[in-house]
Chain A
Amino acid sequence: MIARPSSIVALAVSAVTPIALLIAAYALFVGHNQPGGGFAAGLLLGAVVVLRTVAGLQEPKYAAVLLAIGGVIVGVDALSPLLWGEPLLDQFVVSWNVPVLGTVKTGSALVFDLGVVAVVVGLVTALLEGFGASDLAESGRTPTDSQIEAGR
């Protein structure tokens, strides 16, 4: 049933994708002041990846790359305050004026959150990749239980 996705599902998912991306970006940026944040944004993007995989629009890949990028971002953000003598994970806040949005106050926590996003998306992708969703999306064939047993 999932293996041969209907074109209606595919169309719906591809229509929803940009909206979901926008919401994810919104959740990431407002996270500091309203519900949202890196974890939520990452999950939203993860849900997009899962839906697109199920709909047969793409196969999950780059899990390792995403995990690595996320790990590096978080690690660098965590360690960099040490360079100017601040404690580990200390964050600095900057605020500047953006024409349309007014005064935007943000900080290195946003960078940290970006790393969290990458890690969460990477993990979801890794789950899909690891558990063989790619053959599903690719060939549309459903392995039987016995095949799965044999592969174990």
Chain B
Amino acid sequence: MIWFLLALFVIAVLVIAVSGSRLGRSSLWVAAVPMAATALWSVTLLGSDEVVEAGFSWVPGLDLEILFRVDGLRAVLSLLVAGIGALVCVYAVGYFSPAAAGMGKFAATLLSFSLAMVGLVWADSVWTLFVFWEATSITSFLLVGFKNTDPVARTAARRALVITASGGLALLAGFVLFVDAAGTSVLSDITPVTGSTATAAAILILVAAATKSAQVPFHVWLPGAMAAPTPVSAYLHSATMVKAGVILVALIAPAFQDTDVWKPLGLTFGLVTMIWGSVGALRHVDAKLILAWGTVSQLGLLITLLAMGTPKATFAAISILVAHAVFKAALFMVVGEVDVRAGTRNINELSGLRRSMPITFGVAVVSGLSMAGIPPLLGFPTKEAAIEAVLGLADTELLVVAGLVIGGAVLTVAYTTRLLLGMFGGSAPMADRVVAPRRSAMSAPQVVLAVGSVVGFVALGRVSDVVRTASVIVEPDAVVYTLYRWPGLTDAFITSMIVVVLGLTLGGLLARRTVLTGPAAHGAAIADTVIDSIGRAARGIAGVVQHGSLPLYLATMIVTVAAASAAFVGEIDTDALYWWDNRAEAVLVVMIVTAAVAATVVSSRLGAALVLGAVGFSMAGLFVALGAPDLVLTQLLVETVIVVGFVLGLGRLATKFPKPTRLWLVGRTAVSVVIGAAIAVALAGAASSPTGQPPIAELAESAVDVGGGNNVVNVILTDTRALDTLGEVIVLLAVGVGILTLTRRRTRAVGPAETPSIDLPPTDSDPRSVAAEVSP
């Protein structure tokens, strides 16, 4: 079933890619099909102990496996990912105008993202997870930058990509260390690890999760990513992309609980992010930015709870993860609809929409109250669970963590109140704004999600079972917890009522005010400066290293190789060396040396080409003497092609070399001697101290048995070491494609009638546009 669903995704992507331009907005319906199918299948697995696994070993020798596993936790996650994805597809049909361009591309990218996300949550091997992790970074870059003519969107997309991709590098390093420490790459097999390697892995993986899940100070990409079309935000920035880091932390937490850094670092990230995010949400007047900052804050809370590592906190984290996805996606959809129909998202300009957009208003109230944690909605019991979990701490932890989490909850209620009052409150009719008619494709998905928040509370017993099954995967001790509709007058309940009162008051006071407004995108500006300077540094380094002088490139490579072979000098054992097997070798070597020396002094180009050919053919003779017919054949053919090629090229050049300067002559000779000596030393060193038996017998045997051929050399090439050959073929392909593209571009650029073939985006005033990066 796993393979079937993944294949369905791929097929749908291909269908859209092929016919997207004709389908237009309808391609979104195609995109919804695999998502809906995945969501339905996930529903059947909810709350059960059944585990579905799939996978295959890709390169057994390297332990590279592709593994998927769907258990109680992953079923919940894939239900959120695929279910909200399907709803977002429907929503997008209403969001975009019928004439919108690039719908096929949009649907295909959205679906690819969804595939990457489903793969990520189902992955059971860290390597599989890493691949899908990177895929989400790339597809989300494309989605955020969907309006690619808009410099703001492009900058935001680039910022998101650079930050999350740097996190990807940290993740790769972290996984390498983790696998080294844990001895397994399978997530469901992990056991607690300790030691310095594990500590380093814990830091790297936490940082990676922090970049993806927008933890301070890596959060700067998330508000900027609001430049994306709202369906993208509703999908990526509520339920999926930003949750990837949280999911990673949840899955890998059992391994790192015992390391010294995991908890303090995770708590620091989480708590700072939670507070800073909710303060950010109070600073903005753009409803979408309020939601984005609110998401940052909620992600901080999730990371805090998971870093605490108590069963209760893990249970609360999973329940909040579910509730948050449901209400935040709905709220993003509300804001998108307000934006489309009223023409603005600024809460200072919006007013009285509760009358003109009643359905949206209802959705917003339900989802907003769920976000604020007010009964009778799903957000309430989950927030109760969180408060109960932090109140269960002791001593300093109780003071700091509980204090901050409760403070964050107050701010959450406050920004929710401010958002709702701002968008729908007030009675003044909006000046020069006409509210466009309702589109049912936009309303339906919101209503579904809002109903979800209500039904989640009504059927809390079922939700609780599902969350418990999911939490047990991370933390087996979480099996004792339940979500309560009415917890009774516990400390947590009293605390949360105080939170609500304080939050409502604060939100009411701050509505339509921006007392906290500071430099709006300060962090983003810093991030952009850093990214720009990385680009400049890269160009600077490339300018120095890629100087364009072929002789210098060669000299650099040769000197490096020579330096590397210096280590072999000590290995040489003169007793093990002898002059020749056979006197013909000596004759051939003399020929090679003579021809090589002649190549340095000959003044005509044709002469040089022929002398080099002589070196090559004598080398072939040497291979004959040594009994290597395959090498002879290849060497002869290579030499033939090279000599003919030289002759062909010589037709276009002057017959003689330019007169060399003294320095040039000396330098060239020195480099030649160095490389010759270095290779000789390396070979002599390697031949002096052989260890073990030569593998010839084994290779010859396996050539016949496994490869089915008697030519051992060729069986090595095509079977025993076929991966190497594959690599060589790829190198050849790259060289060929490089030659073709480089030479074609040049011919076209100098051609008088043709336009330059470099695909530049439309130029604009943005100094950081791609055009700046193309120029040297």
Contact in complex: B722, A89 (CB < 8 Å): yes
Distance from B625 Cβ to chain A, minimum over Cβ atoms (Å): 16
Distance from B749 Cβ to chain A, minimum over Cβ atoms (Å): 10
Contact in complex: B649, A131 (CB < 8 Å): yes
Contact in complex: A47, B641 (CB < 8 Å): yes
CB within 8 Å of A: which B741-774 residues: 742-744, 746, 750
CA–CA, A15 and B758, complex, Å = 43
**Given that A44-B637, A120-B732, A145-B653 are contacting pairs, would A82 and B58 also be in contact in the complex, using a CB cutoff of 8 Å?**
yes
> Is B718's beta carbon under 8 Å from chain A?
yes
Contact in complex: A126, B736 (CB < 8 Å): yes
> Is B101's beta carbon under 8 Å from chain A?
no
Contact in complex: B647, A54 (CB < 8 Å): yes
Scoring A residues 43 to 80 as 1 if CB is less than 8 Å from chain B, else 0, what string do you get? 11011001101100000000110010011001000100
CA–CA, A35 and B718, complex, Å = 13
**Given that A43-B638, A148-B652 are contacting pairs, would A85 and B718 also be in contact in the complex, using a CB cutoff of 8 Å?**
no
Residues of A within 8 A of B56 (CB): 82, 85
Residues of A within 8 A of B640 (CB): 43, 47
Interface SS of chain A: helix, strand, loop or mixed?
helix
Minimum CB distance partner of A109 in chain B? B718
B59: which of A31, A87, A105 is its contact (CB, 8 Å)? A87
Contact in complex: A123, B719 (CB < 8 Å): no
**Given that A63-B736, A89-B722, A127-B645 are contacting pairs, would A35 and B629 also be in contact in the complex, using a CB cutoff of 8 Å?**
yes
Contact stretch, chosen from B356-364, B667-675, B688-696, B704-712: B704-712
Contact in complex: A129, B740 (CB < 8 Å): yes
Contact in complex: B648, A54 (CB < 8 Å): yes
Contact in complex: A40, B637 (CB < 8 Å): yes
**Given that A71-B733, A89-B722 are contacting pairs, would A109 and B707 also be in contact in the complex, using a CB cutoff of 8 Å?**
yes
Residues of A within 8 A of B710 (CB): 32-34
CB within 8 Å of A: which B629-686 residues: 629-630, 632-634, 637-638, 640-641, 644-645, 647-654
Contact in complex: A32, B709 (CB < 8 Å): yes
Contact in complex: B714, A119 (CB < 8 Å): no
Contact in complex: A37, B707 (CB < 8 Å): no
Residues of B within 8 A of A128 (CB): 645, 648
**Given that A32-B714, A78-B726 are contacting pairs, would A130 and B742 also be in contact in the complex, using a CB cutoff of 8 Å?**
yes
Interface SS of chain B: helix, strand, loop or mixed?
helix
CB within 8 Å of B: which A4-58 residues: 27, 31-40, 43-44, 46-47, 50-51, 53-54
CA–CA, A50 and B554, complex, Å = 26
Q: Among the interface residues B56, B719, B742, which one has the most CB atoms of the partner chain A within 10 A?
A: B719
> Is B715's beta carbon under 8 Å from chain A?
yes
Contact in complex: B634, A43 (CB < 8 Å): yes
Scoring B residues 23 to 67 as 1 if CB is less than 8 Å from chain A, else 0, what string do you get? 000000000000000000000000000000000111111000000
**Given that A43-B634, A116-B729, A130-B742 are contacting pairs, would A34 and B59 also be in contact in the complex, using a CB cutoff of 8 Å?**
no
Minimum CB distance partner of A54 in chain B? B648
Contact in complex: A109, B719 (CB < 8 Å): yes
Scoring B residues 273 to 288 as 1 if CB is less than 8 Å from chain A, else 0, what string do you get? 0000000000000000
Residues of A within 8 A of B641 (CB): 43, 46-47, 50, 124
CA–CA, A51 and B742, complex, Å = 24
Minimum CB distance partner of A95 in chain B? B708
Residues of B within 8 A of A71 (CB): 729-730, 733
> Is A93's beta carbon under 8 Å from chain B?
yes
**Given that A109-B709, A112-B718, A124-B641 are contacting pairs, would A130 and B630 also be in contact in the complex, using a CB cutoff of 8 Å?**
no
- Count of chain B residues with a beta carbon within 8 Å of a chain A beta carbon: 54
> Is B530's beta carbon under 8 Å from chain A?
no
Contact in complex: B733, A70 (CB < 8 Å): yes
CA–CA, A78 and B722, complex, Å = 9
B648: which of A53, A89, A106 is its contact (CB, 8 Å)? A53
Residues of A within 8 A of B649 (CB): 131
> Is B717's beta carbon under 8 Å from chain A?
yes
Contact in complex: A123, B732 (CB < 8 Å): yes
Contact in complex: A50, B648 (CB < 8 Å): yes
Distance from A34 Cβ to chain B, minimum over Cβ atoms (Å): 6
CA–CA, A37 and B224, complex, Å = 56
Contact in complex: B645, A33 (CB < 8 Å): no
Contact in complex: A2, B651 (CB < 8 Å): yes
Distance from A64 Cβ to chain B, minimum over Cβ atoms (Å): 6
Distance from B704 Cβ to chain A, minimum over Cβ atoms (Å): 10
Residues of B within 8 A of A40 (CB): 630, 633-634, 637
Scoring B residues 50 to 90 as 1 if CB is less than 8 Å from chain A, else 0, what string do you get? 00000011111100000000000000000000000000000
Contact in complex: A50, B718 (CB < 8 Å): no
B645: which of A50, A82, A122 is its contact (CB, 8 Å)? A50
Q: Among the interface residues B57, B633, B744, which one has the most CB atoms of the partner chain A within 10 A?
A: B633
> Is B739's beta carbon under 8 Å from chain A?
yes
Distance from B743 Cβ to chain A, minimum over Cβ atoms (Å): 4
> Is B735's beta carbon under 8 Å from chain A?
yes
**Given that A53-B648, A91-B719, A123-B736 are contacting pairs, would A47 and B637 also be in contact in the complex, using a CB cutoff of 8 Å?**
yes
Q: Which A residues fall within an 8 A CB radius of B?
A: 1-3, 27, 31-40, 43-44, 46-47, 50-51, 53-54, 63-64, 67, 70-71, 74, 78, 82, 85, 87-89, 91, 93, 95, 105-107, 109, 112-113, 115-116, 119-120, 122-124, 126-133, 136, 142-143, 145, 148, 151-152
Q: Nearest 7 pairs between A and B by C-beta? A: A32-B709, A93-B708, A43-B637, A130-B743, A109-B718, A130-B739, A2-B651
Q: List 20 A-B contacts (CB under 8 A).
A: A2-B647, A31-B709, A32-B708, A34-B711, A37-B718, A43-B637, A44-B637, A54-B647, A63-B740, A67-B736, A87-B59, A93-B707, A109-B709, A120-B732, A123-B732, A124-B641, A129-B739, A131-B649, A132-B652, A132-B743
Q: Which B residues fall within an 8 A CB radius of A?
A: 56-61, 629-630, 632-634, 637-638, 640-641, 644-645, 647-654, 707-711, 713-715, 717-719, 722-723, 725-726, 729-730, 732-733, 735-737, 739-740, 742-744, 746, 750
Given A27-B633, A132-B743, 10 other A-B residues pairs in contact with their CB atoms under 8 A:
A2-B650, A32-B710, A47-B640, A50-B645, A67-B740, A70-B733, A95-B708, A105-B708, A126-B736, A129-B739
